Structure 1
Amino acid sequence: MLGDIERLVVTESPSADLAAVAHSAGVVAALGRAHLGADPELIVLDGRTHLRWRLGSGPRRVLLLAHHDTVWPLGTLAAHPFEVREGVLRGPGCFDMKTGLVMAFHALAVLAAPDRTDGVTLLVTGDEELGSPSSRELIETEARGCAAALVLEASADGGALKTERKGVSRYEVTVHGRAAHAGLEPERGVNATVETAHQILAVAGLADAAAGTTVVPTVLAAGTTTNTVPAQGRFAVDVRVRDAAEQDRVDTAVRALRPVLEGAAVEVTGGPNRPPLQRTSSALLYRRAQHRATGLGIGPLSAAAVGGASDGNFTAGIGTPTLDGLGAVGGGAHADHEHVLTAEIPRRTALLAALIHDLTEGSNR
Structure 2
Amino acid sequence: MSHPQIDLQQLLADIRELVEIESPSADLDAVARSAEVVARLGADLLGAPPERLVVDGVTHLRWRLGPEPRVLLLGHHDTVWPHGTLARIPYAVDDGVLRGPGCFDMLAGLVMAFHAVAALPSAEGVCLLVTGDEELGSPSSRALIETEARQASAVLVLEASADGGELKTARKGTSMYEIEIIGRAAHAGLEPENGVNATLELAQQVPAVAALSDLAAGTTVTPTSATSGTTLNTVPAAARFTVDVRAWSCAEQERVDAGIRALEPALEGAKLVVHGGINRPPLEAELSAELFDRAVSVASRLGLPVPGQAAVGGASDGNFAAGVGTPTLDGLGAVGGGAHAEDEHVLVDRLVDRTVLLHGLLQELLDGPADPPRGRP
TM-score, length of structure 1 as denominator length: 0.95
Distance in 2 (CA, whole Å) between partners of 1:188 and 1:82 is 57
Tell me the distance in 1 between the aligned counterparts of 2:195 and 2:114: 62
Taking the aligned partners of 2:203 and 2:36, their CA distance within structure 1 comes to 48
Q: 1:75 aligns with which of 65, 75, 84?
A: 84
Corresponding residue number in structure 2 for 1:13: 23
2:239 pairs with 221, 233, 242, which one? 233
Q: 1:264 to 1:19 in 2, by over 3 A?
A: closer
Tell me the residue number matched to 1:139.
Answer: 145
RMSD: 1.5
Question: What are the superposed Cα offsets for residues 69-126 of structure 1, whole Å, 9 maximum, x if unpaired?
Answer: 1112233222211111211111111111111011001111111x22xx2211001111
Say whether 1:32 aligns with 2:42: yes
Does structure 2 conserve the Cα–Cα contact (< 8 Å) formed by 1:4 and 1:102? yes
- The aligned counterpart of 1:222 is 228
Provide closer, same or farther for how the CA distance between residues 151 and 223 of structure 1 changes in structure 2, counting only shifts above 3 A: same
The change in CA–CA distance for 1:337 and 1:213 in structure 2 (over 3 A counts) is same
With 321-330 and 44-53 compared, the bigger mean Cα shift is at 44-53
Q: Which residue of 2 aligns with 1:328?
A: 334
Letter in 1 for 2:177: Y
Correspondence 1:291-330 to 2 at 5 A: 291-330=297-336
1:290–1:299 CA contact under 8 A, matched in 2: no
* Residue of structure 2 equivalent to 1:65: 74
Please give the alpha-carbon distance, in whole angstroms, between the structure 1 residues aligned to 2:131 and 2:272: 36
Stretches of 4+ aligned residues off by more than 3 angstroms: none
Q: Structure 1: which 5+ residue stretches go unaligned?
A: none
Query: In the alignment, which residue of structure 2 is the partner of 1:123?
Result: 129
Deviations 1:280-339 (A, max 9, x none): 111111111111111122233111111111111110111111111000000111222111
Post-superposition offset of 1:276: 0.8
Q: Kindly indicate whether residue 9 of structure 2 is the aligned counterpart of residue 3 of structure 1.
A: no
SS in 1 for 2:207: helix
Matched AA of 1:349: T
How many angstroms apart in 2 are the aligned matches of 1:337 and 1:16? Answer: 22
Aligned equivalent of 2:282: 276
So what's the TM-score if we normalise by structure 2?
0.92
Shift in Å at residue 9 of structure 1?
1.3
1:108 aligns with 2:117: yes
Q: Go from structure 1 to structure 2 and tell me whether the alpha carbon gap of 1:224 and 1:41 turns closer, same or farther (over 3 Å shift).
A: same
- Residue in 1 that maps onto 2:53: 43
Partner of 2:367: 361
The CA distance in 1 between the partners of 2:239 and 2:85, in whole Å, is 34
Q: 2:193 aligns with which of 161, 167, 187?
A: 187
Q: Which moved more, 1:260-269 or 1:146-155?
A: 260-269
- 1:1-46 per-residue CA deviation (whole Å, 9 max, x = no partner) reads 1111111111222222222222221211121122111111111111
Distance in 2 separating the partners of 1:357 and 1:259: 57
Aligned to 1:348: 354
In 2, Cα distance between equivalents of 1:24 and 1:225:
41
User: Residues of 2 paired with 1:232 and 1:298: CA distance?
Assistant: 57
- 1:363 deviates by 6.5
The answer for the alignment partner of 1:85 in structure 2 is: 94
**2:49 match: secondary structure:** coil
Instruction: Give, as a single letter, the amino acid of the residue that structure 2 aligns with 1:199.
Output: Q
Look up the equivalent residue of 1:126 and give its one-letter code: G
Deviation (angstroms), 1:229: 2.4
Deviation at 1:207, TM superposition (A): 0.2
Aligned to 1:99: 108
Give the number of aligned pairs. Answer: 360
- Alignment partner of 2:29: what SS? helix
Q: 2: CA distance between counterparts of 1:54 and 1:339? A: 31
**CA distance, structure 2, for counterparts of residue 38 and residue 343 of structure 1:** 29
CA distance in 1: counterparts of 2:94 and 2:137, whole angstroms: 33
Give, in whole Å, the separation in 2 of the partners of 1:27 and 1:180: 54
Partner of 1:264: 270
Q: Which moved more, 1:336-345 or 1:66-75?
A: 66-75
Name structure 2 gaps, 5 residues minimum: 1-10, 371-377
Give the Cα–Cα distance (whole angstroms) in 1 for the partners of residues 26 and 189 of structure 2. Answer: 44
1:286 maps to which of 276, 283, 292: 292
